[in-house]
Amino acid sequence: MSAKQADKKLSLGYRVFLTPEIGVLIPILLLVAFTTIMNPNFLTRRYLSSILMGSVNIGAAALGEAFVIMVGEIDLSVGYAGCLAGVMMGKAAMTWGWGPVPSLLLLLAVGAAVGALNGFAVTRLRLTSWITTIATQFICMGLATTIAQGYPQSIESLNFQPFTRARPLGLSWMFFIFVLIVILTDLLLRRTRIGYNLRAVGGNRDAAEMAGIDVRNIKLLAFILAGMLAAVGGMFDAFQSGSASDVFGAGREFRAITCCAIGGISMAGGAGSIYGVGLGVLLFHTLWYCLRILSVNTNLQLVLIGVILILAVALDMQRKRVEARKLI
């Protein structure tokens, strides 16, 4: 059967639903419509801005997680890697008297170092990414707790208050930074040789090696990018609260993975959409806020989020079957 004949068998609506970005956007619109009907106060600038501004922390970690999943690995350290990076930035500002630029560079360097450690263990020591990143998660947790000693690390001396308190269009500048990061990471993935290599390694490692791609270095790069984006999430945490704490980032890795799955990143690697991840983050937070506004039981909220994750993975598998049919 030709590809054109296979396409004809698929209805337009079915193909649209299987498109990652549209497949995520539809549930968001349905959630907003349903919640607005149940609570007309929901569709206001206050609630909508809260959803958008609350998405940036997990969003940054989810974008980094997407790169690692794209190459067929997993990173369970993105939550506490961001926490450690934020604490180090706060320590540099509050205790060592560093200025804004050195403190931010330190934050990114810490994230990159955690990512490099993960990548080295996976590619050179041949450890599984699950075990490696669980270990680095505990390392980051312990270091953050030891450095912070139970006290928030203030970043007031960095004088970011005019930036963090500004509300252009009713939103924080952090949201616009996040949007810019989404655009840049999408361009990196779709328009550069590095992005092509990332997808190739996750899609078929043996074929990538035969094509001359250095698989180990590409995976190492993916982990470093994940660590740096996790650090950006830790930066957003510190900016929003005015200090860095060793409790930030707990459980963020699982929410980041959920957002990737919802956004259409293939859990087997090799395929996915950065814009889909951004919309997956938005769907996750929209659902979270909607359930809270509708006073849904907290335990039931967790059940619903788990169900959505299963559905997202099932949709990913169905999408792969459709693509396979097109190639027959």
Rounded Cα distance, 186 and 129, in Å: 24
- The pair of structure tokens assigned to 134 is 């669980």
- Write the burial class of residue 166 (CB in 10 Å: 0-12 exposed, 13-18 middle, 19+ buried): exposed
Average pLDDT on 285-290 reads: 86
What is the pLDDT averaged over residues 117-139? 95
- Specify burial of residue 146 (Cβ count, 10 A radius: 0-12, 13-18, 19+): exposed
Looking up tokens 């590095």 gives 194
For residues 233 and 314, give the distance between their C-alpha atoms in angstroms, rounded to a whole number: 28
First to last CA, the chain: 6
- Write down the pLDDT at residue 322: 65
CATH, domain range 3-327: 1.10.3470
Phi, psi torsion values for 211, nearest 5 degrees: -80, 0
CB 91 within 8 A of CB 117: no
Q: What is the pLDDT of residue 1?
A: 45
Mean pLDDT of 302-314: 75
Range with lowest mean pLDDT among 67-71, 127-131, 219-223, 245-249: 245-249
Residue with tokens 């359930």: 291
The pLDDT, as a whole number, for residue 326 is 59
For the chain, domain boundaries: 3-327
Closest C-alpha among 204, 231, 229 to residue 218:
204
Whole-number Å distance between alpha carbons of 47 and 41 = 8
- Fill in the DSSP letter of residue 43: S
Report yes or no on whether pTM surpasses 0.85. Answer: yes
pLDDT (tens digit, 9 = 90+) per residue, 137-154?
A: 999 999 999 999 888 999
Q: Minimum mean pLDDT among 21-35, 151-165, 277-291: which range?
A: 21-35
**Bridge partner list, 153:** 244
